[in-house]
Amino acid sequence: MLTLTINDKQVSVPEGCTIMEAAKTNDIHIPSLCNMEGIHNIGACRICVVEVEGAKTLMASCITKAREGMVVRTNTGRVRNARKVLYELMVSNHNVECLSCKRNQSCEMQELGRVLGVENARFKGAQSNKNIDASISITRDMSKCVLCRRCVTVCHERQGTGIIGPQNRGFKTEIAPPLCQPLGAVNCTFCGQCTVVCPVGALKETSSVDAVWEAIHDPKRCVIVQTAPAVRAAVGELFGIPAGTPCTGKLASALKELRFDHVFDTNWGADLTIMEEGTELLSRLKLFAKGEKVSLPMVTSCSPGWIKYIEHTFPEMLPHLSTCKSPHMMTGAIIKTYYAQRLGIAPEDMFVVSVMPCTAKKFEITRAEMMNYGLRNVDAVLTTRELGEMINSAGIDFANLPDSKFHDPLGFSTGAADIFGFSGGVMEAALRTAYEVITGRELPGDNLHVTPIIGLEDVKEASILIESPLPEYAGLDGVELKVAVTSGTKNAKTLMKQVKEGNSPYHFIEVMGCAGGCIVGGGQPRNTDGEIREKRRGALLWEDEHKKLRKSHENPAVMAIYGEFLGEPNGPLSHKLLHTSYVKRGKYNEFTDETAVIEIPVDSRKVSVDSRERQNTMDARLKASPAIQPSGDSERAMALVSENTRLKNELKDSKETIEILRNIVADYSNPDR
């Protein structure tokens, strides 16, 4: 431990912590824009500067280590003025169309301005020329980018994909893929984690809200909605409900209030997925037991971000993927076949909407492989955030809605479906069914949980010994079934390297594209709570453990579909509707001509605002001002005095600004910082 003084208060903190961390542990708030605790600490914005006794310049508190005996002041006049100037300089090159921005009222830059007390930005000048780049999943409005580099860190260090980074230099710097290519033209997985960490409106999901409203208001359309497991664990946060509160009943009620014709649950599709994926796994294991050549380990295919990653990075490993579509795509396929026949509605008159925690799902539904009989399985994807936008727009008081249930027959699910929303859940759900099918006995473990794989660690593994199986699976007697679970493409890369090199010890691997699973997907509410993953996971565990039926093969609504329509798991019709194939893309898209770029009309792109245009506007205002066009000597004298005062104030501000900038430049070159 070391002792230092912050704002005349002596504090003790662990060695190695920064000034900002030391202040936070002692309830002293230091404002910042770029910093993200434990993830991104590079001192890019400099808003967090503080005075350190003995230092020549102000120090960035997020990267300056606390030292024994250090004396720090976080709120002096010098510090406050520096923060304001830095903020105003950022605003001078920022698109300030706040009223029409999706992040209005939830923008970290707006909030920072309020904290700093900045009401007017004094600096005017040229703005860098940055356009809008739209892909099917993510839209980048670089006129709003503040170059905090959070998105770069999460893309490189958390996801391990490294798609975006700083391009060009100086005033022309922008965050983009190499050579400033469109995001939809490179090997982006569309995981959307960049949209979650962006402090402003520069990164967001490509909106489907207008298309969904148009469908709802079309009397000729039958509009059907389904919602993913993870959505119910997070949507309440958008309406002031504490994180970790299950909102299943309110969610169903809200969707009905929005006037969807039928409200279904993707959980039903998750149970269906287990029937198909579990059967596929057992088929491969039986071939393996006979000594036949088969692609093991089998790898899950529920996460579209993960699927796109493996298509780009490990295209030769595609045979290891399960051929199952993701749960919402399976549900969409059933809606436009079985349910359309049941209602007597033409499938082309149906409009299926999926509410998902994931931005990659927007890309998934456009894949050519996700069609049957010439129609898309799903027509539109809304993120959890977009659904919140629609609920607010409709004037629905979500927090006070009564609970209701999803519609039958695709609204009933088991507890196994709920846990699809977090890392390890898909694996556990599959094992609950597969083990019972093989042995005729319930999966051993504490309350049906496979404890080693339920958690938020990077890579988790477990093994289950198969003993005394049913006669059909006699060849698996004595086999130790080895499984692994990971989330985040950076961690998936580790496991896939083992598979590629032929030394993977596993039979079955679960991969989710986002670290922690769908509960922290790219379309979920932005939340700075460090325990948000645990809270949302807890909500889904609660849902699972409070259901009477907790194994997918016990879902009567799923079994009825097989009896009435599909026939059997992995049967001919199931394969046609519920299974898919994959695209060998390559790291540089060298194996495909597909693109996910959306062309933006030239007249809607952002253009730079030249300083001369600003000056012309100011000159026009001055010419129209009565103070500059006096009618008499006294008025002329008053105008001159007023103008003289204004110029003196501007000169004073300029000198202060120059001094602050000089100190900041000196700080960057300070070897002790």
The whole-angstrom separation of Cα 481 and Cα 187 is 34
The C-alpha angle with vertex 147 and arms to 143 and 153, in degrees rounded to 5, equals 130
**What is the pLDDT at residue 159?**
94
SS3 (DSSP) at 50: strand
Are 398 and 255 a contacting pair, CB within 8 Å?
A: no
Is-catalytic flag, 518?
yes
Whether the predicted pLDDT of 589 surpasses 50: yes
Give residue 652's pLDDT: 72
Note the pLDDT of residue 623.
Answer: 44
Q: What is the spatial distance between Cα 343 and Cα 341, in angstroms, rounded to a whole number?
A: 5
Catalytically annotated residue among 237, 276, 277, 543:
277
Report residue 395's pLDDT band, with 50, 70 and 90 as the boundaries.
very high
> How far is residue 137's CA from residue 122's CA, in Å, rounded to a whole number?
37
**Cβ contact 146:94 at 8 Å:** yes
Give yes or no for a contact between 516 and 357, defined as CB atoms under 8 angstroms apart.
no
Cα(255)–Cα(247) distance, integer angstroms: 12
Cα separation, 300 vs 425, in Å, equals 12
Q: At what angle do helices 209-216 and 384-393 cross, to 10 degrees?
A: 50
- pLDDT over threshold 70, residue 604: no
Q: Which CATH architecture has domain 2-75?
A: Roll (3.10)
364 assigned to active site: yes
Is residue 407 predicted with pLDDT exceeding 80? yes
- Catalytic one among 130, 250, 361, 490? 361
CA distance 199 to 192: 14
Q: Are 422 and 416 in contact (CB under 8 A)?
A: no
Residue 608: active-site member: no
Residue 511: the pLDDT is 97
- If one looks up domain 209-578 in CATH, what number appears? 3.40.50.1780
Calpha distance 123→89 (Å, rounded):
7
The pLDDT of 619-628, averaged and rounded, is: 40
Residue 428 clears pLDDT 50, i.e. is over it: yes
DSSP structure class, residue 324: B
Q: In whole angstroms, give the CA distance from residue 640 to residue 636.
A: 6
Q: Is 514 a residue whose pLDDT tops 90? A: yes
**198 counts as catalytic:** no
Give the C-alpha separation, 514 to 358, whole Å.
9
pLDDT(660) > 90? no
- How confident is the model at residue 399, as a pLDDT? 97
Q: What is the pLDDT of residues 240-265, one digit of tens each?
A: 999 999 999 999 999 999 999 999 99
Domain boundaries, the chain: 2-75, 90-206, 209-578
Instruction: Please enumerate, as own/partner, the contacts of 616-623 that have beta carbons within 8 Å and a separation of 24 or more.
Output: 618/124
Of the candidates 51, 280, 311, 543, the residue annotated as catalytic is: 280
CA distances from 332 to 92, 225, 325, 341, 629 (A): 47, 9, 10, 14, 70
Q: What is the mean pLDDT of the chain?
A: 90
**Could you tell me the CA-to-CA distances from 552 to 239, 413, 559, 563, 592 in Å, in that order?**
32, 8, 9, 16, 37
Q: Is the Cβ–Cβ distance between 353 and 382 less than 8 Å?
A: yes
90-206 CATH choice from 3.40.30.10, 3.60.20.10, 3.30.70.20, 1.20.1440.80: 3.30.70.20
Q: Which of 518, 543, 551, 552 is catalytic?
A: 518
Q: Which of 302, 324, 358, 514 is catalytic?
A: 302
Q: Which residues contact 88 (CB under 8 A, 6 or more apart)?
A: 118, 121, 122, 123
pLDDT at 638 over 70: no
Residue 280 among the catalytic residues: yes
Residue 178 and residue 589: Cα distance in Å, rounded? 14
How much is the pLDDT for 610? 41
The first and second tokens of residue 507, run together, are 């039979």
How far apart are the C-alpha atoms of 235 and 231, rounded to whole Å?
6
pLDDT in tens, 467-482: 999 999 999 999 999 9
Whether pLDDT at 464 is above 80: yes
Assess whether 111 carries a catalytic annotation: no
* Closest alpha carbon to 412 in 547, 563, 274: 547
Percent residues over pLDDT 70 in the chain: 90
pLDDT tens for 25-69 read 999 999 999 988 877 888 889 999 999 999 999 999 999 999 999
Report helix, strand or coil for 425: helix
Instruction: Please identify which of the residues 364, 386, 428, 510 carries the catalytic annotation.
Output: 364
